[in-house]
Structure 1
């Protein structure tokens, strides 16, 4: 009877060490750090143990192997009488002892596999952090008690790892891909809402998109010339009620500053003619190069405390204008509502009208197109057409890419105003981007 009690105790301790091993190894650092912020000292101890796991795992292996060996020795002695009686019911020949031994071995092994290994590890995997913070202090005490053996085996394992040039410690670096994978899993499980998923995903794109993908292009900027009279300025403000207007001298490349609409309205309400005088023209324009990423532009806005910036190219020519609202809408998407003309209009299940200045990244999201080649060479869908065709497209010019037909349907001068994108159902279509490029 004492042998059966000893087996039960060994199974209990085997389960404890197995749970400890899996839970401390599988405990997620992000959750542990949250628990530390909430005041959990044990979570801090688990984090420290994960940073230097060598001694802990050496102790676990010593304990588990010792328990397994003792379990085999005691188990055979404890179960042999019972298995012999059981076997004699069916067989009493010369192989009785061997059969009883094999049956005892099978039973004791099954008990250890089920109750000292499989079940404890499955429990620990389902809630690793909760288990880890409960066993970590006990495991540290056992490690301290087995210090001579731990130091010996840990030192030998480190020596072998160094000989074969394997790292002795794990470097856990959370990458963007890791975070995206976690978000996808959360979205699939329903713990992360679709809006939240798209919002977080858009934030990661801030470092891959540049200002031309969100700016108002040069030809659509509403500006005033120093020579404009009151009638022209008043009509422009009524037609385009912006907060600020650029002031130039002959062309946008000769900017003199900007004026706020409230200053012009004040003159009109006082019954005066609009005068673009030095008193209302502000000189502190924020200039940003068109090579900046959206993330860098946000930092520039934060430092300059401005609401808009003029985008210039490497030749110091004005190519567009960007506001803080443009940057926010680039990753907030449908979560914010602005009064702007929709750039992608779905005509039916397989065709879309797309404005030429629509960022390529928006087309990818809306139409689920797999890829665009050499995306660092262009920002907009019109730029994609020009890049692929190696010329300014004419009306009705088209090509097929990734199962979609791209057709220019509205071309004004050298500017592609609108495209028709159609999903191709005919799999035998031969015209491709690769053929055009060649």
Structure 2
């Protein structure tokens, strides 16, 4: 074989190998979501890529057969065509064979393997849709070979009980990773990233993490005088007030809206807390519900206010639609009193009833020990101290010092959290 003929043959083998290498990486690395979007936008070849990803047996068989055949052919042709000319230069047959082997191997490794794969990896979906139809033609040409090798592989996989169907199910961790990557790339704004993250947190957080606890509930007894009711409604900024029998929160008969009650009082009409026109039935929910579940319950019932009950039938708190949405909106809304206030770069003032999820996020702590055992920063302190906390009690964890600076009876009202300076 002449040098010109051998060179043309090697170039054809080089092009074939580069095509197969690029197609292999592009089709394998193509993201399912992006390919589905391309398909919806009218790129029908994206459907072919998705189908090939789902059943990759024929595709992988063709890649391996072609690449191995090209490597063997290139080695044989290169050895026979180039070695004689190199032998004339070096006057040594063994050396000329080694040099020809290095030249052919290096050329194919660089031009037919490394460069096509890197280009395909950087634009996987675009390259995949452009090369999928030629790859389908190769699969058709090598159908008999595929039938033998792919069939043998399928028999072995079936015997070993191994599934070869590609699984692209999305998990919450996958979505978090995509969001983080989008935020780092600037595709998602910081506020948008927090908003999406908060929505996913709703699946994990229970209603007790954001409820107004029992000791802060303002309620009326059925025997409370109208004058006292009006006085409390004016002093308290709430729109809804529970009504109970015998001044007992375990005997709730409903709730009244301050607007409706005060309107009747201003019109000098006879009004009573037990008036059926004013008293509305309260929605009761278990304390095990997630925020997402209670939001769905608000939607189905048309309510925006619920009483939270534990497994013993005791009222532990109340929650409103506003409470739930404040968690969703997070930093996008401004509250009158922030539960977490950053004083300096390394110190924070934190309300004792702040949900532990908010503390972890604000301080950028990976995790806290046995976090399923408590829901607030106060619970965390009680768990770590193994006693009823008191003022000036401190603990150190994850490079932070947690110090109690104010209490109200047995309740922690405020804490100071300080991050240790990194010593290098």
Q: CA offsets, 1:77-129, max 9 Å, x none? A: 443455355x2xxx4x4x1x333333332222222112211111111000111
Distance in 2 (CA, whole Å) between partners of 1:335 and 1:36 is 35
Closer/same/farther in 2, CA of residues 48 and 226 from structure 1, 3 Å limit: same
Distance in 2 (CA, whole Å) between partners of 1:100 and 1:263 is 101
Distance in 2 (CA, whole Å) between partners of 1:103 and 1:424 is 61
* Equivalence for 1:307: 304
What are the equivalent positions in structure 2 for 1:304-383 lying under 5 Å apart? 304-337=301-334, 339-383=335-379
Q: Which moved more, 1:416-425 or 1:356-365?
A: 416-425
Q: Which moved more, 1:7-16 or 1:71-80?
A: 71-80
* Equivalence for 1:285: 282
1:226 pairs with 201, 222, 226, which one? 222
Distance in 2 (CA, whole Å) between partners of 1:218 and 1:358 is 15
RMSD of aligned Cα (Å) = 2.4
The structural deviation recorded for 1:193 is 2.2
2:14 pairs with 4, 11, 17, which one? 11
The structural deviation recorded for 1:163 is 5.2
Q: Is the contact made by 2:282 and 2:306 (CA closer than 8 Å) also made in structure 1? A: yes
- Partner SS, residue 207 of structure 1: coil
Closer/same/farther in 2, CA of residues 98 and 408 from structure 1, 3 Å limit: closer
Show structure 1 runs of 5+ residues with no match. Answer: 428-438
What are the equivalent positions in structure 2 for 1:97-136 lying under 5 Å apart? 97-136=93-132
Q: Is the contact made by 1:311 and 1:318 (CA closer than 8 Å) also made in structure 2? A: yes
TM-score with structure 2 length normalisation?
A: 0.91
Q: Which moved more, 1:73-82 or 1:194-203?
A: 73-82
- Partner SS, residue 416 of structure 2: strand
Closer/same/farther in 2, CA of residues 419 and 131 from structure 1, 3 Å limit: same
The structural deviation recorded for 1:407 is 3.0
Q: Is the contact made by 1:19 and 1:120 (CA closer than 8 Å) also made in structure 2? A: yes
Q: Is the contact made by 1:229 and 1:274 (CA closer than 8 Å) also made in structure 2? A: no
* Equivalence for 1:433: none
The structural deviation recorded for 1:215 is 0.6
* Equivalence for 2:168: 172
The structural deviation recorded for 1:165 is 5.2
Q: Is the contact made by 1:263 and 1:280 (CA closer than 8 Å) also made in structure 2? A: no
Distance in 2 (CA, whole Å) between partners of 1:396 and 1:110 is 70
Q: Which moved more, 1:344-353 or 1:4-13?
A: 344-353
Show structure 2 runs of 5+ residues with no match. Answer: none
Q: Which moved more, 1:314-323 or 1:348-357?
A: 348-357
Distance in 1 (CA, whole Å) between partners of 2:279 and 2:136 is 67
The structural deviation recorded for 1:367 is 2.1
